[in-house]
């Protein structure tokens, strides 16, 4: 099956997002595979040293954007431990599920349509680190199209992703005053204690009823064991289902105030990806369900570049890629039996939308 051969080519070219040379090599392999199927070379768009690929097919108005990424979370050398392979109908290899199989599916789906007009394929190289260089490119491209199909891996059981939580990332820095912890601790302002107060304060911003999570993660403070800490910091991961919740949490972060006399609170960061709300995907999911009855849909906590396209107001359907599991884990795998039918579904969606 040519699909499997092409997936192998992409998976065996390792592409951790933080390794610019590796991402560049992966872009060349991805460009070769895509060009052979789409009949033309892509534009190579290098932003902050990261290589993104764009094919604009036909000359008519832009109708459908197919979106994916060729970078992965796996460091160079992972292939030695988790080699590419297919056994008992299961395909394995770093990045196979998230999301190199989906990239190959895009190429084969579009190629099966002959010469579609108004279709754009955009494959980026920094999604796994939050799309710092490609976000503007993605948003600018999306607004020229009537619909976006994101070929990230499916949710459990092959469900399409009709909702994704938006993400916000914060760093909270607490400034105190150093003093000797044994001789005169009362002369200090303990940044660790202030951090404890603020960690509890931000945790209370979560709202389980609306699906909003606010999770303090990395914490650091102090310099030596016998010194009142003059500085502390902690990171916070926020996930929300609605734009209103994202704004509410951001306002509350900006309103944090110190508890200890003499302490200062500094907040940096903020919303990174807007939520993909059900309203942005409902019509496209209905169309997909008509083409392949029995499809399930899911709301997930993880974000993708589909959050950006939905955030600029373009109808977006996500999770159209591989069926399997284990994203970002050593159990990452793809069910081979699902690759062809899901590629056919993708092709049918593009046909209907053009």
Do residue 88 and residue 177 come from a single domain? Answer: no
pLDDT digits (tens, 9 = 90+) for 155-182: 999 999 999 999 999 999 999 999 999 9
Bridge partners (DSSP) listed for residue 220: 233
User: What pLDDT tens digit does each residue of the chain (354 aa) get?
Assistant: 599 999 999 999 999 999 999 999 999 999 999 999 999 999 999 999 999 999 999 999 999 999 999 999 999 999 999 999 999 999 999 999 999 999 999 999 999 999 899 999 999 999 999 999 999 999 999 999 999 999 999 999 999 999 999 999 999 999 999 999 999 999 999 999 999 999 999 999 999 999 999 999 999 999 999 999 999 999 999 999 999 999 999 999 999 999 999 999 999 999 999 999 999 999 999 999 999 999 999 999 888 999 999 999 999 999 999 999 999 999 999 999 999 999 999 999 999 999
| Tokens found for residue 74 | 């796996």
CB atoms within 10 A of CB 60: 11
Domains in the chain: how many in total? 2
**Final residue belonging to a domain, choices 239, 273, 307:** 273
Last residue of a domain, one of 222, 250, 273: 273
CATH of the domain at 40: 3.40.630.10
Domain containing 237 — which CATH number? 3.30.70.360
Q: 118 and 192 in one domain?
A: no
Judgement on whether residues 175 and 268 belong to the same structural domain of the protein: yes
Q: Do 25 and 148 fall within a single domain? A: yes
CA–CA distance from 123 to each of 67, 157, 184 (Å)?
A: 6, 25, 59
184 and 151 inside one domain: no
Q: Are 87 and 209 in a shared domain?
A: no
Backbone angles phi, psi at 345, to 5 degrees: -60, -45
Structure tokens of 97? 């599920």
Q: What is the pTM of this model?
A: 0.90
Domain with 172, as residue range(s), is: 166-273
Query: Which positions are annotated as active-site residues?
Result: 71, 127
Same domain, 26 and 16: yes
């Amino acid at each position: 099956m040519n699909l499997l051969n092409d997936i192998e080519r992409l998976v065996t070219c390792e592409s951790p997002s933080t390794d610019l040379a590796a991402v560049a090599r992966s872009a060349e392999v991805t460009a070769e595979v895509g060009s052979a199927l789409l009949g033309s070379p892509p534009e190579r768009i290098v932003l902050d040293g990261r290589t993104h690929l764009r094919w604009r097919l036909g000359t008519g108005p832009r109708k459908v954007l197919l979106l994916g990424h060729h970078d992965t979370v796996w460091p160079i050398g992972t292939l030695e431990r988790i080699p590419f392979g297919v056994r008992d109908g299961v395909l394995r290899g770093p990045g196979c599920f998230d999301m190199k199989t989906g990239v190959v599916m895009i190429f084969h789906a579009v190629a099966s349509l002959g010469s579609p007009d108004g279709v754009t394929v955009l494959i980026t190289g920094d999604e796994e680190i939050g799309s710092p260089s490609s976000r503007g490119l993605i948003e600018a491209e999306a607004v020229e199209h009537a619909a976006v199909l994101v070929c990230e891996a499916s949710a459990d059981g092959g469900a399409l992703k009709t909702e994704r939580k938006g993400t916000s990332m914060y760093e909270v820095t607490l400034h105190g005053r150093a003093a000797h912890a044994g001789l005169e601790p009362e002369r200090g302002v303990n940044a660790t204690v202030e951090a404890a107060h603020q960690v509890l304060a931000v945790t209370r911003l979560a709202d389980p009823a609306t699906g909003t999570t606010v999770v303090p993660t990395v914490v650091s403070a102090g310099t030596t064991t016998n010194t009142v800490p003059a500085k502390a910091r902690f990171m916070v991961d926020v996930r929300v289902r609605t734009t209103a919740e994202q704004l509410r949490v951001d306002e509350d972060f900006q309103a944090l105030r110190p508890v200890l006399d003499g302490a200062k609170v500094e907040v940096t960061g903020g919303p990174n990806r807007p939520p993909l709300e059900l309203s942005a995907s409902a019509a496209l999911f209905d169309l997909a369900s008509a083409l392949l009855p029995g499809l399930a849909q899911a709301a997930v906590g993880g974000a993708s570049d589909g959050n950006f396209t939905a955030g600029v107001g373009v109808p977006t359907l996500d999770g159209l890629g591989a069926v399997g599991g284990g994203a970002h884990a050593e159990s990452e795998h793809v069910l081979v039996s699902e690759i062809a039918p899901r590629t056919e579904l993708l092709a049918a969606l593009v046909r209907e939308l053009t």
